Structure 1
Amino acid sequence: MLNVQTNVTWSDTQESAVLQACSRIAPTWPLDKSIAVNPWWNFKDNSYVETAEKLHRLAGVRGYMGAEKYIHALASGAIDKDCVKQAIVSTEFEGSFEDWQACLSQPEPARIQPLFSAHVDAVRDRHYMKWEEEITHQISQFCAAHFQSLRAMLKKPKVEQKMSLYQHWLEVTRVDYGLSIVLSAPNVRQYLELLPTDAEEALGMMVSELEISDDALEDFALACLYDIHGWASWVAYRQWHEQHPTGDTSHASFVQPNELKELLTIRLAWEWIVFKYMQRHEALMFDDCLARWQEQSELSMSDLAVHKRYFQALEVGALALEFSYQQHLATTLSKSEPVETGEEKKQLQAVFCIDVRSEAMRRALEQQGKGIETFGFAGFFGMPISYRPLGSNLSRPQLPGLLSPAVNVSESLSNQQLNSRKKKLNWKARVKTWSSAAASSFSMVESLGISYGLKLLKGKTQPNKLNDLSKVSQWRLYQGENDVPLDAQTDIAYGALKGIGIYSFAPTVLLVGHESQNQNNLHAASLDCGACCGQSGAINTQVLCQILNNTEVRSQLAQRGLSIPADTQFIPAIHNTTTDQISAAEQCSTNLQETLERASLLCRKLRFAAQQPDQIQNEGLESDKAIKRTLEKRATRWSEQRPERGLADNAAFVIAPRAKTEHLDFGGRAFMHGYEKDSDPDNSILELLMTAPMVVAHWINMQYNLSVCEPFKFGSGNKLLHNAVGGGIGVFEGNGGDLRIGLSRQSVHDGSKWLHTPQRLSVVIAAEQKDIESVLNKHPDLQNLVSNHWLHILQWQDSGSLLRFNGDTWLQVAGQ
């Protein structure tokens, strides 16, 4: 007879350990609002090397390139030997340069295996389904159905109370008769019947019967969550979204308290089931697995020391690579030309997103004449908005994912246009419902197949996905039912102009948002503007231009010391990052259109020369038309796996006057934001830049880094195998496994080599040391990022020198 412990006390210590493990999981955003995330953001209170070592030891994930990559980088010259010696001094690695090389030449040290099911799989008959694989598959399929339908799959009549995630899983799994067959484990379902229906009671019982000590519980819980890390990240997003409303209603649903804890309970329940099943039905194998599990539940002191030393050596390699890049950066910055005074009045100004893809376009536009000036600013242009299409109840955020919108915007349409819009939206909703239902989907294809063929052809020729918005002449800004007052609009305009750092105005000022253009791509949002929550920046530029062109707003701005000349016109523009085509609104002059066309042509040349020099020769792309045609094909080809490189190989964030950087080529690897320290006496702008865009750039950098270092847990795998999950929650690679998050392989690999070199962000700031330190001291999160080696802070001095901050002192970057 099967018995389980009852009335087990769940202590405050155990609760704290479990909640601490849950708090380490960073959220992941849905596909249609995909933004870059640092998956290790919630470990920032620990050093990078400690985090990488711990998660490799517990979950087998990697936060560094392989040791051989650093050895190869040293041999190829990408790592300077002196930088290795500097890195050794900067870490806890004990030994010489030769000791470091010897350490990396050793095999990767063994990790522990906290999960009992993994030990069973290691000795079980290889012809049987692995427990871990089926556990992940079962939980993943359940979560996909649960979060997609948002109601119990086995809905019973007259049941009004919502079931918790754990209770729903238990009800569904108890009647899954296929589990015993798939797992070759007869009667496994009887163990599900023994599980308590209350999640906390179940946790207490399972932890007690598995004899998980209080000291080991947090690590054990973390290992369980990392085994289903994709779904854990999604649940973390749901909980984050509940606490920080963004105006996004497309994935809105009831979020129960401690949902992540309940997901952990589900994963732990499977560990308990495997344990009890093997104990009863496979006694000899159970004893062997139990001995292995208890032996490997914790590394010996000597094994732990070897493991830590190896990771300290990897940290030396990573720092040496970053220090070597900073030497190259210092050389580039030393070529900065003196700022000219008394130059001619600017005739054209253009404000771009700080995105690394804007760097080449900014240089190309500036080269069209001395009267042209560009600025870098966060791509949402300081607009705290959520876009709600008129005629729809749905809205989407148009600002960074960590912020909540304060203002809604909608098109101002006539009643006739509004009725037409509603009819179109209703028709689309009906067709979608028709095509999604199992019974009617085939008849839908039979009826509308030809019209869908025309729709596919339209996708081959339509140049922009937001073409309909180019016809919007007026936008409504509102909060609730009330329009945003003039004073509040002036506040938005003032904040944007101060953040941009623009104080004198040319006759024409372009606000340039950016968007990608691609077909048949589940990860399309990851190529759009991250500062706009994975959307095009077109709406933000149009709304801000409307505000800045308002004479009443300008009058109030003048009272605050920002005078905009009457002949200055703000014009929205868009940078298509796939084709490197920049285009402005229809009201711009012919001369401006020609200037933008020449800049686009030059930018495409610069891009190909830097990223794909071999393709120019191999495919005969010497002519401008051939290059443009190639890029346009990528934008419209249904089967295109790599429409563009996105932000691959990003490495630096430069916060400095544009006049000091406009002649410099950062190779498309730098985020760039303008900053004039003399115009910021109270450091308010510097503080804003270091707490907002710098953190966003760090998230982008870390997502690319970890998608390369650990593509299985932090990358979404092969695009060719992707299937959308839950209406846009994420993707499966194939038909099962964990929810895949992060960047696809095609985003970071060209089929023969990696497109991104994992290295932590180097942030270059042209400001006084005391001012930089003042901002760091005010924000513990920033202090952690610097002192724990999550990113580098460097000061660009007026003399041209580059100094690196190590948390206590400023050190000269070698090689200058």
Structure 2
Amino acid sequence: MENSKPHFLAAEINAACAKIAPLWPLSHFVAVNPFLGFADQKFAAAADAHKRIQGSDTVLPKEWFKQKFEAGDIGLEDLRGAVAAATPEIADCFAAFDQPLTADQLVELLSEPEEEETPVYQTCSFSAYLDAREGTHWQRIIREEVAKWCAAYDDEGQSSWKFPWKDLSLYAGWKEAAQIDRNPELHGLAGFRQFVAGLPEDPHAVIEQAIETLQMPEARIGSLLYRILLTLPGWAGHLRYKDRELEIRGESGDSLLQLLAILLSYDLALYSMHADDKNCILGWQRNLEEDHADDGSSVIPLGLAQRLVWQSAMEHAFEQKLRLGINPSEESAGERPDVQAIFCIDVRSEVYRRALESTGLHVQTIGFAGFFGLPIDHKVPGLGGSQARCPVLLAPPVPTSDCKSGIEVSEFDQLLFQRVDARESKRTWKRFKEAASSCFTFVETIGLSYGLELFKDAFGISGKTGSDKGAPDFLVDMATKDRADLAEGILKGLGLLENFGRIVLFCGHGSATKNNPYASGLDCGACGGHAGDANARLAAALLNQADVRAELAERKINIPADTVFVGGLHNTTTDEVTLFDYEGADSTLVGQLRASLDQAGILCAIERSARLGDAGEQDDVVAAVRARSRDWSEVRPEWALAGNAAFIVAPRQWTAKANLQSRAFLHEYSAETDPEGAVLENIIGGPLVVGSWINLQYYGSATDNAHFGSGHKSIHNVVGGVGVALGNENDLRHGLPLQSVHDGEKLIHEPLRLHACIAADTKVLDGILERQEHVRHLVENGWVHLIALGADGKLWARRQPDGSWKQSVPREREVVA
């Protein structure tokens, strides 16, 4: 093959693997942009590609928009605004089909039946080609076989039977197992074990052999390999996650490449079995020539173009409402608050912050990424390994651990021993229950003792889960300067350099649910799918240290002697807040803070009850909302981040009088305290990117849950502790469960692309986007809407695909509820 040099093939293989979005394991599940590998493409082009390549939808059907239009959620003005802002891809499509691009025409077309857009390709692999040609089921067999070995290899302790070759690489382990497995031969793949024995030891060599043997056209190698990886998109995503974890730490991983080699090995075996059938091979060659699904087209389908305009109209309607909630005329009181409460930017914090501010306590609430500027690698005694409690974009450099404050090393070791012993006891008990010799007699002899717990769980009356975790601490002694650097970074990120309250509360968030494989998905995304208590307590402890404060004073950051930093944890499922390490604070003020936090929790529960469907008297509603956290049959313990659609980077005063309905990420920022724009650049390159991942995860799970979500919770089966499969399916599901975005009758999450509204001038934002290429792609390709508010809030300008800015005149201002 011409130009078939190793570096060329390596680039094509890497390009194929890069299109796969990573899938985090259940232990620390985080939302991820399912379109991550297509961020460098225009949104319309990517939507077209996904439909052609795998039959997935990235825009809701026309009927949904029709209902929204008839209900008044989309107005004619919104539709006209969307038409005026139509991208060249949409305008070219209407012109190509000789259709006028007007609001009236779109309304008229809304009543016409929607034509089904059939995916172009079906046979990118040789096994798929044989299935289409001969009516066989090789694709299904290969999926089952490869998924079986992936589940065995990556099992995290769920299975009682350990894969014998876990110490080898995935490909090497599969190669050993496949040589003694007769299953493929029983399905008709003659001589498969011998064929596997003759495969190269290097997975790269297998892929190169497959490319040559299967005669893949050079110009389409990367695309064909990507489509072959879509044989098992869930396992591909999990292995991409494993590679990515190594990459962000400066290492290299090839787990996904090994999966590709395994998948191609089955195609090579099938090709070898049919090599003497000239008609079959000629048909395969013709198939490769005629399959143009990955070639793309200069014109997207008309139906898709129509729905894209309606999508923009829906977003235009939301933007107008959002604009009413941002009021830069509100000024800071300037008076010292009694309490400053720092919450995660998570949309669930918006409800709680609004409620807390209404309680009468003299409190200032601040939004900040929930890891609070501490990228920690956190160890929990007895759990083994460590937890990266920071955004998944980072590799945590700061080692920490749970421990008892002031305890001796021997006591800590005893605590560690107790937890490890308890963990091993549970494993032994599990092995006993599942062993072939005891599993049946177990139910007969001991099953009745589980009756009370089953009854309590079934009716949501189980007790609360306690925690004996001690105060976390840094595992490595750090010099005062280094600790002060961390502290200064936190305060500058908060914009909190003066006017400190008497209590400054760092309030992380977590959740509490029963029987929920996706429990970690309700925890803090900024803490890598873990609760934010450790980060909150460490940040508070750091800023209470006398030597750190003295060093900060040298840097002209003076913290009053009566200011005490306190850690806390907001349980988003029950809206209860736990305070930690508050002994040094004024006891009267602590009591007032506790009372206000309790009151805010009740107000939140009442507000959330309407969306959850809990109705009744106040006490009954609050009890019903909180009981969801203890009910093992509850499929919707909370709505988490459903509804998210905005990311506001501005002073809290600008939004303090608005009810943003838990739809906005709120990050504190003032251009006045950031003259160089360094803080803003960190926000845009970090929290905003994470926010876009969350937004697009919910977007995909709502528009096409079959492809971008994990389906119905009632038939989830946990696989190896790393993911879920639906029923007896073999692949892992990625994305969110259907119940996370749908209430059984309608979508609760309206899939809207993120509106990033930033209190900065366009020139500042242009400079940041110039340096942050991946963010520029998200904005200019239509994955995120970027709106400049100006440093003074007097601007409303949206960044255009060509890099220019377009200002808009607001509708008449209304009172926001």
TM-score range, shorter chain: 0.7 to 0.9
Larger deviation, residues 706-715 vs 115-124: 115-124
After superposition, the Cα gap between the structure-2 partners of 1:155 and 1:693, relative to the gap in structure 1 and judged at 3 Å, is closer
Alpha-carbon separation, structure 2, partners of 1:602 and 1:9? 65
Aligned partner of 1:261 in structure 2 is: 257
How far did residue 256 of structure 1 move?
Answer: 8.4
Q: Secondary structure at the match of 1:759?
A: coil
**Pairing of 1:569-584 with structure 2 (within 5 A):** 569-584=564-579
Q: Secondary structure at the match of 1:148?
A: coil
Alpha-carbon separation, structure 1, partners of 2:645 and 2:176? 49
Aligned partner of 2:815 in structure 1 is: none
What letter matches 2:678 in structure 1?
S
| Deviation string, structure 1 residues 41-77 (Cα, Å, up to 9, x no partner) | 2332222222232233223233222343344434443
Alpha-carbon separation, structure 1, partners of 2:658 and 2:702? 28
Match status 1:226 vs 2:235: no
The counterpart of 1:133, out of the listed 121, 137, 140, is 140
Match status 1:594 vs 2:598: no
CA contact (8 A) 1:29 1:234 kept: yes
CA contact (8 A) 1:722 1:734 kept: yes
Alpha-carbon separation, structure 1, partners of 2:252 and 2:491? 42
How far did residue 381 of structure 1 move?
Answer: 0.8
**Pairing of 1:498-517 with structure 2 (within 5 A):** 498-502=492-496, 503-517=498-512
Q: Between Structure 1 and Structure 2, how many residues are aligned?
A: 775
The counterpart of 1:29, out of the listed 24, 43, 59, is 24
Aligned partner of 2:357 in structure 1 is: 366
Aligned partner of 1:168 in structure 2 is: 173
How far did residue 178 of structure 1 move?
Answer: 2.6
Alpha-carbon separation, structure 2, partners of 1:457 and 1:416? 38
Q: Secondary structure at the match of 2:86?
A: helix
Alpha-carbon separation, structure 2, partners of 1:331 and 1:467? 43
| Deviation string, structure 1 residues 547-587 (Cα, Å, up to 9, x no partner) | 12222222222221221111112222221111122332375
Alpha-carbon separation, structure 2, partners of 1:153 and 1:344? 63
Larger deviation, residues 522-531 vs 76-85: 76-85
The counterpart of 1:142, out of the listed 126, 139, 149, is 149
What letter matches 2:268 in structure 1?
W
**Pairing of 1:601-680 with structure 2 (within 5 A):** 601-609=602-610, 611-612=611-612, 615-616=613-614, 621-680=615-674
Alpha-carbon separation, structure 2, partners of 1:723 and 1:65? 28
The counterpart of 1:86, out of the listed 75, 84, 88, is 84
How far did residue 712 of structure 1 move?
Answer: 2.8
Alpha-carbon separation, structure 1, partners of 2:339 and 2:88? 46
**Pairing of 1:97-108 with structure 2 (within 5 A):** 97=101, 102=109, 105-108=114-117
How far did residue 142 of structure 1 move?
Answer: 0.7
CA contact (8 A) 1:501 1:676 kept: yes
After superposition, the Cα gap between the structure-2 partners of 1:544 and 1:294, relative to the gap in structure 1 and judged at 3 Å, is closer
Alpha-carbon separation, structure 2, partners of 1:793 and 1:31? 32
Query: Structure 1: which 5+ runs fail to align?
Result: 247-254
| Deviation string, structure 1 residues 573-630 (Cα, Å, up to 9, x no partner) | 2211111223323756332221111111112222234x24xx35xxxx3322111111
CA contact (8 A) 2:361 2:593 kept: no
CA contact (8 A) 1:141 1:736 kept: no
Match status 1:177 vs 2:187: no
CA contact (8 A) 1:74 1:81 kept: no
After superposition, the Cα gap between the structure-2 partners of 1:454 and 1:489, relative to the gap in structure 1 and judged at 3 Å, is farther
How far did residue 419 of structure 1 move?
Answer: 1.4
Aligned partner of 1:690 in structure 2 is: 684
Match status 1:213 vs 2:223: no
Aligned partner of 2:343 in structure 1 is: 352
RMSD, aligned CA: 3.3
| Deviation string, structure 1 residues 439-477 (Cα, Å, up to 9, x no partner) | 3773887887677677778986677656323xx3x5431
After superposition, the Cα gap between the structure-2 partners of 1:189 and 1:423, relative to the gap in structure 1 and judged at 3 Å, is closer
Q: Secondary structure at the match of 1:497?
A: helix
How far did residue 351 of structure 1 move?
Answer: 0.6
The counterpart of 1:204, out of the listed 205, 208, 228, is 208
How far did residue 685 of structure 1 move?
Answer: 1.2
Alpha-carbon separation, structure 1, partners of 2:205 and 2:396? 40
Larger deviation, residues 324-333 vs 533-542: 324-333
Alpha-carbon separation, structure 2, partners of 1:562 and 1:449? 62
| Deviation string, structure 1 residues 687-729 (Cα, Å, up to 9, x no partner) | 1111111011011111111122232332222222222222x22
CA contact (8 A) 2:328 2:794 kept: no
Alpha-carbon separation, structure 2, partners of 1:397 and 1:204? 36
The counterpart of 2:120, out of the listed 111, 114, 121, is 111
CA contact (8 A) 2:325 2:657 kept: no
Aligned partner of 2:97 in structure 1 is: none
What letter matches 1:500 in structure 2?
L
Aligned partner of 2:267 in structure 1 is: 271
**Pairing of 1:435-514 with structure 2 (within 5 A):** 435-436=430-431, 439=435, 442=439, 465=465, 467-469=467-469, 472=470, 474-479=471-476, 483-502=477-496, 503-514=498-509
How far did residue 271 of structure 1 move?
Answer: 2.8
Match status 1:809 vs 2:809: no
Alpha-carbon separation, structure 2, partners of 1:571 and 1:623? 34
Alpha-carbon separation, structure 2, partners of 1:300 and 1:549? 58
**Pairing of 1:708-719 with structure 2 (within 5 A):** 708-719=702-713
The counterpart of 2:244, out of the listed 225, 240, 244, is 240
Alpha-carbon separation, structure 1, partners of 2:307 and 2:808? 21
What letter matches 1:177 in structure 2?
R
Larger deviation, residues 354-363 vs 500-509: 500-509
How far did residue 377 of structure 1 move?
Answer: 0.5
CA contact (8 A) 2:90 2:300 kept: no
After superposition, the Cα gap between the structure-2 partners of 1:564 and 1:667, relative to the gap in structure 1 and judged at 3 Å, is same
Q: Secondary structure at the match of 2:767?
A: helix
After superposition, the Cα gap between the structure-2 partners of 1:294 and 1:68, relative to the gap in structure 1 and judged at 3 Å, is farther
Aligned partner of 2:755 in structure 1 is: 762
| Deviation string, structure 1 residues 217-265 (Cα, Å, up to 9, x no partner) | 111101001221111111111112223349xxxxxxxx98533222112
Alpha-carbon separation, structure 1, partners of 2:418 and 2:395? 31
After superposition, the Cα gap between the structure-2 partners of 1:62 and 1:486, relative to the gap in structure 1 and judged at 3 Å, is same
How far did residue 646 of structure 1 move?
Answer: 0.8
Alpha-carbon separation, structure 2, partners of 1:58 and 1:218? 13
After superposition, the Cα gap between the structure-2 partners of 1:257 and 1:567, relative to the gap in structure 1 and judged at 3 Å, is closer
Larger deviation, residues 489-498 vs 357-366: 489-498
Alpha-carbon separation, structure 2, partners of 1:591 and 1:300? 63
Larger deviation, residues 356-365 vs 382-391: 382-391
| Deviation string, structure 1 residues 142-190 (Cα, Å, up to 9, x no partner) | 111122289998859xxxx965433432332243223344x46666666
Q: Secondary structure at the match of 2:154?
A: helix
After superposition, the Cα gap between the structure-2 partners of 1:800 and 1:446, relative to the gap in structure 1 and judged at 3 Å, is farther
Alpha-carbon separation, structure 1, partners of 2:462 and 2:395? 32
What letter matches 1:548 in structure 2?
L
After superposition, the Cα gap between the structure-2 partners of 1:202 and 1:568, relative to the gap in structure 1 and judged at 3 Å, is closer
CA contact (8 A) 1:653 1:762 kept: yes
How far did residue 497 of structure 1 move?
Answer: 1.4
Alpha-carbon separation, structure 1, partners of 2:332 and 2:713? 52
| Deviation string, structure 1 residues 253-305 (Cα, Å, up to 9, x no partner) | xx985332221122122233344445668x87x4796487346411599x945
Larger deviation, residues 435-444 vs 266-275: 435-444
What letter matches 2:131 in structure 1?
D
Aligned partner of 1:53 in structure 2 is: 48
What percentage of residue pairs aligned between the two structures are identical?
A: 32
What letter matches 1:605 in structure 2?
I
Alpha-carbon separation, structure 1, partners of 2:656 and 2:315? 24
The counterpart of 1:700, out of the listed 694, 697, 703, is 694
Alpha-carbon separation, structure 1, partners of 2:414 and 2:554? 42
Larger deviation, residues 367-376 vs 146-155: 146-155
Q: Secondary structure at the match of 2:474?
A: strand
CA contact (8 A) 2:336 2:500 kept: no
